[in-house]
Chains A and B, each alone.
Chain A
Amino acid sequence: GAVVSQHPSRVICKSGTSVKIECRSLDFQATTMFWYRQFPKQSLMLMATSNEGSKATYEQGVEKDKFLINHASLTLSTLTVTSAHPEDSSFYICSARWGRGGYTFGSGTRLTVV
C-alpha cells in the first residue's frame, strides 16, 4: 500500500518551454505532498509543501511563479516548471504523507533543459 506514481521519469525539453510533473497517490488519499529537488550526489532540497485545496507553501528562495504547484485533488499533485532554463535541470521528487505520519516517495523525474 501507500504507492505514489510519479511521471514522467525522464524528460528533455527546450529552453523556454514548460514541463509538468505529476504525482499520483494510487491507493490512499494524500492530503499533503512535498516537492523536492536534488542535484547529483547532493541532498534533497525541499521546494514546497502543498495541501489539497489550498495554496502551496514555498521554501525561501524558491520562485513561486516558476515552480507552479497544484494539488487540486486528494490523489494528484502537479509541479510545473515554467519557462525552463538549463539551470533548472535537476532531479525532482515528490513525497506524500499518508496514514498516521507515514511518508512515501515517487521515483523521481530527471529534467534536462537544452
Chain B
Amino acid sequence: GDSVTQMEGPVTLSEEAFLTINCTYTATGYPSLFWYVQYPGEGLQLLLKATKADDKGSNKGFEATYRKETTSFHLEKGSVQVSDSAVYFCALYEDSNYQLIWGAGTKLIIKP
C-alpha cells in the first residue's frame, strides 16, 4: 500500500542554519503531496503542497519539489528561525484511495 517515510527527529539546529527534512513516498497512482506544520498547542496548518511531478511548493521560506523519479518531497529552508520550531508532517493524498497517508512527523528544534 501507499506509505510515507520521514526522517526521524528531533532535528536540532542553530538559528540561520540550512534545513532539510527528508520525505519519501510509495504510491500506486499520482498522489498530491503536502507538508503540514504543527506549532506547540495548535492544530495542523498546511505549509505547502504540490499536486504533480516537478511542481515546487513554497511558503514562508520553505520549499519542496515533487520528484517522481526519486519519489521524494524533501522540505528545505535556507535560514531557519527560532519560530520555526514545530513538528513537520509529510503527507500523501490519492483520490483513488480516498486516504490521507501521513509520515510520522519530524520535530524541529531551533536554538538561538
Chief secondary structure at chain B's binding surface: strand
Do B43 and A49 touch across chains, with their CB atoms under 8 A apart? Answer: yes
Do B46 and A44 touch across chains, with their CB atoms under 8 A apart? Answer: yes
Per the bound structure, the CA–CA distance linking A9 and B99 in Å amounts to 8
Size of interface on B: residues with Cβ below 8 Å to A? 22
- Chain A residues within 8 Å of B98, by CB: 9-10, 91, 108, 110
Do B34 and A108 touch across chains, with their CB atoms under 8 A apart? Answer: no
- CB proximity of A44 to chain B, nearest CB, Å: 6
Tell me whether A61 is interfacial, beta carbon within 8 Å. no
Given A91-B100, A108-B98, A110-B98, verify A44-B44 contact (CB < 8 Å): yes
Given A9-B98, A49-B43, verify A103-B38 contact (CB < 8 Å): yes
Given A40-B95, A101-B87, verify A107-B100 contact (CB < 8 Å): yes
Tell me whether B62 is interfacial, beta carbon within 8 Å. no
Question: From B105, which residue of chain A is reached at the shortest CB distance?
Answer: A103
Interface Cβ pair total, 8 Å cutoff:
52
Per the bound structure, the CA–CA distance linking A70 and B71 in Å amounts to 39
Question: From A95, which residue of chain B is reached at the shortest CB distance?
Answer: B44
- CB proximity of B109 to chain A, nearest CB, Å: 11
Per the bound structure, the CA–CA distance linking A43 and B59 in Å amounts to 14
- Chain B residues within 8 Å of A44, by CB: 36, 44, 46
Do A43 and B99 touch across chains, with their CB atoms under 8 A apart? Answer: no
Per the bound structure, the CA–CA distance linking A49 and B105 in Å amounts to 20
Do B49 and A43 touch across chains, with their CB atoms under 8 A apart? Answer: yes
Question: From A34, which residue of chain B is reached at the shortest CB distance?
Answer: B43
Do A34 and B100 touch across chains, with their CB atoms under 8 A apart? Answer: no
Do A46 and B49 touch across chains, with their CB atoms under 8 A apart? Answer: no
Task: Using CB atoms and an 8 Å cutoff, list the residues of chain A in contact with chain B.
Answer: 9-10, 34, 36, 38, 40-41, 43-44, 46, 49, 91, 93, 95, 101-103, 105, 107-108, 110
Can you list 16 A-B contacts (CB < 8 A)?
A9-B99, A36-B43, A38-B93, A40-B93, A40-B95, A41-B32, A41-B49, A41-B93, A44-B46, A46-B43, A91-B98, A91-B100, A95-B43, A95-B44, A107-B99, A108-B98
